[in-house]
Amino acid sequence: MSGVPFDPDCRRCARLAGFLEEVKAQHSSYFCRPVPPFGDPDPRLLVVGLAPGLHGANATGRPFTGDYAGILLYQTLHSFGFASAPQSISVDDGLNLIRCRITNAVKCLPPQNKPVGAEINNCRDFLQHELDAFGAGGVVVALGAIAHKSVITGFGLRQKDFIFGHAAEHVMPRGIRLIDSYHCSRYNTQTRRLTADMFAQVFSRARAILD
């Protein structure tokens, strides 16, 4: 499979398209479309999440914006020089990412935040397009196991050769490094499966590689 550019009108997944229509009927002001990647068009750091959140990216139209998961992410990006501000509030808040881009493995809101395998596969060629264009020697940070697996497949590699683990580091084609992190979800941070220090460790390593 070869990558294709992001399609803002994509309706490949009938379940997701139908769910977006249901949510739009309940929340008329919400974005409720495939959420585009956000950030520098020529990044050195690519952050890959899972999917838009119901009251976050699905509402605002920007990844990790408007929900709990984005709080730690943007604070951390800012502290390591990848974002111009520590908070992402809305698409028109003036925030810029610096040599950094954020995308999701699945571009549409899934019911209960759980895309099925076919939906992940349907969306992968959009991610693959970003990976194909990503510069040699850059760093990809995968937030969670689904993002990790989608990146591995997007690079045309075998899952069994690259096992997900927090702060695990993998060498990809073109000298790109993949660093894994537990997802910065409310559940993971409130249960302290992921702490702010653990998350900072991942981005500190990314910064060290890029510098």
**Tokens standing for residue 205:** 């390593």
Q: Tell me: pLDDT of 1 over 60.
A: no
Report the pLDDT averaged over residues 121-142: 96
80: CB partners within 8 A, 6+ apart: 200, 203, 204, 206, 207
Give pLDDT tens digits for 12-23: 999 999 999 999
Helix then strand then coil, % of the chain, to nearest 5 = 40, 15, 45
For residues 154 and 123, the answer to whether their CB atoms sit within 8 Å is no
SS3 142: strand
**Tokens standing for residue 158:** 């075998």
Give pLDDT tens digits for 75-113: 999 999 999 999 999 999 999 999 999 999 999 999 999
Helix orientation angle between 117-133 and 145-154, rounded to the nearest 10 degrees: 60
Which DSSP symbol is given to 110? P
- Give the torsion through C-alpha atoms of 29, 33, 38, 41, to 10 deg: -130
Strand partners, 139: 45, 177
Give pLDDT tens digits for 152-161: 999 999 999 9
SS3 97: strand
210: CB partners within 8 A, 6+ apart: 44, 45, 99, 138, 139
Report the pLDDT averaged over residues 168-178: 98
All structural domains of the chain: 14-210 (3.40.470.10)
SS3 letters across 28-69: CCCCCCCCCCEECCCCCEEEEECCCCCCCHHHHCCCCCCCHH
Q: Tell me: pLDDT of 2 over 90.
A: no
